[in-house]
């Protein structure tokens, strides 16, 4: 997603952009509708511009416990300063990007790509109380109960129990 200098100079306020997911190279992400939206505002900042807003992306996920497919909405925040000020650029601040006086546009695609990937949860659950699959018969315990016995004795760990004794 490119923002031209003319856009930045207009000091956008809650401008809506639609971005094709194909242009962001999100690999395994299955984006619902194939696109995401981005609402951006731009304010002047010392030696540059302050860009901030919200990304909205709906992705298809697979539950880690029951393997059910579901749709989830992510809304990461975007907050960047564009500047040519060397002091800000050398502070190792990831929210600051170089934007020279001669640059005609800034490409925000890498930043948007990273924000989306950082928003990915470590554990994907269809619902917080997902009961998962029965380890014996494989039935989805969220949809039905099974008649499998729940044996507390698991012989796979007997060798480790012997070491403890």
Question: Does the pLDDT at position 94 exceed 70?
Answer: no
Q: Which residue has the higher pLDDT, 17 or 85?
A: 17
Q: Are 123 and 135 members of one domain?
A: no
Residue 113 has pLDDT above 70, yes or no: yes
b vs e for 42-60, b when ≥16 Cβ sit within 10 Å of the residue's Cβ? beeeeebbbbebebebebe
Instruction: Say whether both 25 and 72 belong to one domain.
Output: yes
Structural domain tally of the chain? 2
Residues 85 and 20 placed together within one structural domain of the fold: yes
Strand partners, 78: 53
Q: Are residues 20 and 91 in the same domain?
A: yes
Query: Measured between alpha carbons, how far is 42 from 8 in angstroms, rounded to an integer?
Result: 6
Question: Do 109 and 135 share a domain, yes or no?
Answer: no
Residues 88, 37 within the same domain = yes
63 plus 140 within the same structural domain: no
Structure confidence by residue, pLDDT tens digits, 38-91: 898 888 877 778 889 999 989 888 899 999 999 989 898 888 888 876 666 566
How much is the pTM? 0.69
Q: Are residues 142 and 67 in the same domain?
A: no
Three-class SS of residue 158?
A: helix
Q: Indicate whether 162 and 90 sit together in one domain.
A: no
Please check whether residues 122 and 143 belong to one and the same domain: no
Per-residue pLDDT, 69: 92
Q: Which of 45, 43, 40, 34 is nearest to 17 (CA)?
A: 40
* Whole-number Å distance between alpha carbons of 19 and 13: 18
Instruction: Judge if 115 and 154 occupy the same domain.
Output: no
Give the range of the structural domain holding residue 117, as residue numbers without chain letter.
2-128
User: Is there a single domain that holds both residue 152 and residue 75?
Assistant: no
């Amino acid at each position: 997603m490119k923002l031209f200098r003319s856009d930045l100079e207009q000091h956008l306020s809650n401008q809506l952009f639609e971005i094709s997911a194909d242009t962001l190279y999100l690999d395994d992400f299955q984006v619902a509708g194939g696109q995401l939206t981005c609402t951006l505002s731009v304010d002047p900042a010392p030696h540059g511009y302050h860009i901030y807003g919200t990304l909205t992306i709906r992705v298809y996920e697979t539950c880690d416990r029951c393997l059910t497919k579901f749709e989830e909405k992510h809304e990461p925040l975007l907050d960047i300063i564009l500047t040519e000020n060397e002091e800000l650029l050398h502070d190792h601040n990831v929210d600051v990007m170089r934007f020279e006086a001669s640059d005609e546009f800034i490409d925000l695609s890498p930043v948007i790509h990273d924000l989306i990937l950082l928003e990915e949860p470590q554990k994907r659950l269809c619902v917080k109380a997902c009961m998962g699959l029965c380890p014996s018969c494989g039935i989805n315990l969220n949809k039905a109960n099974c008649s499998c016995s729940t044996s507390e004795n698991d012989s796979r760990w007997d060798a480790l129990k012997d070491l403890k004794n």
